[in-house]
């Protein structure tokens, strides 16, 4: 039984190269949490990995300036296109979804009562509206689109306040952490 081959692709001009990788470990390598030898399953540069066509030394030297396979593999894994596994995509969608819920919970209120909507109400409204979340776009960038989809289901109003906080010098360390977690700092004076 043949193992499914997953490759990282790198293109420069008309030249295309592939390296056989472990997608989870390649993502960890990009984050600095794994080694290159963990990320690359087979230290060889291919033109077409599934067909077994190896890249020539001349083309590698021309594009990468070296024929050192380790350096080329590192370049491809670090800067090439990595395929996402289903679990990686689901994790990213969940992360963006949770961030959207957090943003809506913090800034969104019911216009009648001016009370914040509970997280479960926001989650249920997102499910009812069948909100599609793009994991490649930040939650902040998707906020307005999601809000438009939710307004027919639950009344929503974003309330953003600017406040000025004065903190004694001996309490700055603890207070700064709380303030940064509560909102966006526009201006600081010391």
- For residue 1, what pLDDT is reported? 35
CA angle 53, 54, 58 (to 5 degrees): 130
d(CA 132, CA 106): 21
- For residue 168, what pLDDT is reported? 86
- For residue 171, what pLDDT is reported? 82
- For residue 3, what pLDDT is reported? 61
- For residue 9, what pLDDT is reported? 92
- For residue 126, what pLDDT is reported? 92
Residue of 143, 140, 91 lying closest to 122 (CA atoms): 143
* pTM for this entry: 0.58
Q: Over the stretch 16-37, which tens digit does the pLDDT of each residue have?
A: 999 999 888 888 888 888 898 9
Which helix (H) or strand (E) segment holds residue 113: the answer is none
- For residue 149, what pLDDT is reported? 92
Cβ contact 126:94 at 8 Å: no
Gap between the terminal Cα atoms of the chain: 67
Residue ranges of the chain whose pLDDT lies below 70: 1-3, 159-160
């Amino acid at each position: 039984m043949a193992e499914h081959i997953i490759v990282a692709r790198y293109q420069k001009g008309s030249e295309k190269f592939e390296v056989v990788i472990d997608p989870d470990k390649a993502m960890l390598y990009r984050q600095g949490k794994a080694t290159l030898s963990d990320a690359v399953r087979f230290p060889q540069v291919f033109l077409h990995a599934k067909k077994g066509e190896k890249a020539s030394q001349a083309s590698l030297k021309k594009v990468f300036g070296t024929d050192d396979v380790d350096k080329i593999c590192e370049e491809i894994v670090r800067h090439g296109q990595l395929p996402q596994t289903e679990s990686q995509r689901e994790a990213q969608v969940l992360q963006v979804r949770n961030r959207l819920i957090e943003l809506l919970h913090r800034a969104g209120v019911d216009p009648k009562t001016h009370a914040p909507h509970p997280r479960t109400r926001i989650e249920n409204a997102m499910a009812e509206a069948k909100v599609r979340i793009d994991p490649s776009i930040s939650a902040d960038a998707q906020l307005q689109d999601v809000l438009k989809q939710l307004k027919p289901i639950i009344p929503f109003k974003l309330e953003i306040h600017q406040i000025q906080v004065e903190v004694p010098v001996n309490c700055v360390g603890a207070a700064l952490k709380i303030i940064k977690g509560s909102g966006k700092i526009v201006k600081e004076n010391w």
